[in-house]
Amino acid sequence: MSTVQDTSSVTSLFGAAAAKKTQSSAEETQNRFLSLLVAQMKNQDPLNPLDNAQVTSQMAQLSTVQGIENMSASMDKLVASLGNNQMAQAANLIGRSVLVPGDIIGPAQENAVVGFDLEAAADSVKLTIENEAGATVRTIDLGERAAGMNLVAWDGLADDGSTVPAGNYNFKISASNAGEAVTGEPFYLGLVSSVTQDSSGVQLNLAGSGQAGYTDIRQIF
């Protein structure tokens, strides 16, 4: 009596299908497995029948692949749903100001508030504002500051008391405690003009200051 491949061929078929999920769905893998199993049962050697334990093991592996396939599909739907929810929430921020990572500051009232996140309390903190050429226009001694997020406003004046011209400015934070440097991450205030969604997630388009991720928001004003 003719025979077909032994059950090791089922493992081979199963493994190939699992390794190439992009080329074969779980349903296709199941159909191939069942077709091969039926063929084996029809053509098995009566003196050397199929091993029930091996068949059961193969079916258990097939079930695992199906479970992973279903879980992956569910996760894709969940991610898409979360993205849509974030997009809707982000749309509500249009016209509002958000505090996001960055060192931009401007003499206009909207841009004059900045923040910095100190990793530890500091007994000496200084805010240095520079123009586009990198020249210092204002240095503000902020004294002691607590750990965490701190906000500070700039009145748009230079060190000599004159009003600085419109333009792009940046700021730096230098902080220390008992002579030891303290790290401070800078944040700036941006006005949300629109929102978009790309491969990186929901992005906020800030008027005149580029983009920021929705998840980067620290405060909303």
Q: What is the pTM of this model?
A: 0.63
Give me the pLDDT at residue 72, please. 67
Per the structure, the count of domains in the chain is 2
Please identify which residue in the block is written with the tokens 């000599």: 160
Same domain, 31 and 126: no
Give me the pLDDT at residue 205, please. 95
Residue 220 is given by DSSP the state E
* Strand blocks (E) in 44-179: 97-101, 104-105, 113-118, 122-130, 136-145, 148-153, 169-177
Which residue range forms the structural domain that includes residue 156?
97-220
Same domain, 215 and 108: yes
Domain membership of residue 2 (yes or no) is: no
Same domain, 106 and 208: yes
Q: Which of these three, 91, 110, 132, is where a domain ends?
A: 91
Query: pLDDT truncated to tens, each residue of the chain (221 aa)?
Result: 444 444 444 444 445 544 455 445 666 766 776 776 667 666 665 656 666 666 677 666 766 766 666 666 666 554 554 556 788 888 999 999 999 999 999 876 556 889 999 999 999 999 999 999 999 999 999 999 999 999 999 999 999 999 999 888 999 999 999 999 999 999 999 999 999 988 888 999 999 888 999 999 999 99
- Say which residues have a Cβ less than 8 Å from residue 83's Cβ, sequence separation at least 6: 197, 201, 202
Give me the pLDDT at residue 185, please. 97
The enclosing domain of 112 has a CATH number of 2.60.40.4070
